[in-house]
Amino acid sequence: MVGPIGDRDDPHGSPRRIIFEEAVQVLEQVIEPACNALGLEVLRADQISRTGEIPEQIFRQLRDAHIVIADLTGANPNVMYELGLRHTTGKLTIQIGERERLPFDISAIRTILFRRTDGGLVEARRLLVQALATGLQSGGDPVTSTRVWFEESLIEIDKVTEIEEILDEPGFLEKLADTEEGIAALGQTLVTATSIIGEISGIFSEGAAKASGLAQSGGPASAKLALANRIAALLENPANRLRIAATEFEKSIDRIEPGLHYLFGRLASEPDQLAEAGEFPEAISALVAASASSIGGALDFKATVEEIGNSTRSMRQVNRRIAAATQSFADSSKRVAEWKTLVEQLPSRKASI
């Protein structure tokens, strides 16, 4: 994140001390909890820089970071310069700022506005979680100035890149290595999703036990409502993480499948390449089996979630996200299970599969 820094060593009540305290307030009450809710680690620009300059590390973070959050409160010149550099990348950039303390020419770009009150900061945190979750799922569009400024250069770059890709086509072993890495990441995402689903199931089980106790004791509807809302709040974090994992799982499959079809086509038409493939076909077979076995469990879990999720508005909303993520995993797992036909093409494995 980038934002105003101020000076913690200035006297209390001085302008730079106030800037420091306000920046820390936004960091600790809005940005850090929003990022932590999605498993993201916050790195503030001043943690890797010296006062008054932007060193190489800052430039690299602005260029390479998957997400940059910019607090534009007060239109600090350094922050505006850093934001301009970031806009040239076209990567996900989320702007926040205190109402009526933003530069006019930036306010036209979508920005999370807040008032510096307890309720205002809570609302800003909620909106930032939504923006981060959406951005992680679908990315972000470059601002108009960036698109216009670089559109001709990008066309030329695309032409050069296309020619270079044709001239520098990866070989069989390079594609095999890339695909193996993608498969490993895919398997890890599946493990992560299984863990998150277990976490969600635990919250459901604990909530069901408490609800049963309330029912047996004849607890009032207000107590049941409060319990349901507490359960929904506990589910927010894992629900968001499950949605992100489901998106990553689908994106990994989209990235892997073209190379996978190429590799298995080569292996089927050139059996002598099987020796170089090593345990790759067996690894695919194992992933196919794991995905096939997970489809039924994912759909059963989705049905359970949908059955539970109608008691309150908050439960209905969070459970709808969980059910959608689970359905996405089931659909993606079906695609992986269909890779079995690729393995069956291999001459030495037709009889054993």
CA distance 73 to 288: 51
- Work out the end-to-end distance of the chain between its first and last CA atoms, rounded to an integer number of angstroms: 51
CA distance 102 to 222: 43
pTM confidence score: 0.47
58 Cβ neighbours under 8 A, 6+ residues apart: 45, 48, 49, 82
Main-chain dihedrals φ then ψ at residue 143, nearest 5 degrees: -70, 160
For 76, left (φ over 0), alpha (ψ -120 to 50), or beta?
beta
Residue type, 116: R
Rg (CA), the chain: 25
131 Cβ neighbours under 8 A, 6+ residues apart: 94, 112
Contact 31, 95 (CB under 8 A): no
List the one residue out of 270, 271, 267, 250 whose CA is nearest residue 328.
250
Under DSSP, the state recorded for 52 is T
CA distance 304 to 197: 12
Contact 94, 68 (CB under 8 A): yes
Where would I find the H helices in 139-277?
144-167, 172-216, 221-269, 274-277
Each residue of 327-345: pLDDT tens digit?
988 898 888 888 888 878 7
Judged by DSSP in three states, 113 sits in: strand
> What is the pLDDT tens value at each position of the chain, 353 positions in all?
898 888 888 898 898 899 889 999 999 999 999 998 888 888 887 776 555 555 777 888 888 888 999 998 888 888 888 888 888 877 889 999 888 777 665 656 788 889 999 889 999 999 999 888 888 776 666 666 666 665 555 555 455 555 455 445 566 667 767 777 777 777 778 788 888 888 888 888 888 788 777 777 777 777 777 877 888 888 888 888 888 888 888 888 887 887 788 878 877 777 776 777 677 778 788 878 877 777 877 777 777 777 666 667 777 888 888 888 889 888 988 888 888 888 787 765 443 33
CA distance 210 to 216: 10
Contact 98, 73 (CB under 8 A): yes
The CATH fold assigned to 15-138 is Rossmann fold (3.40.50)
Strand order in the sheet with 92-98: 67-71, 92-98, 111-114
Beta-carbon-side half-sphere exposure of residue 332 (alpha carbons within 13 Å): 27
List the one residue out of 142, 28, 44 whose CA is nearest residue 87.
142
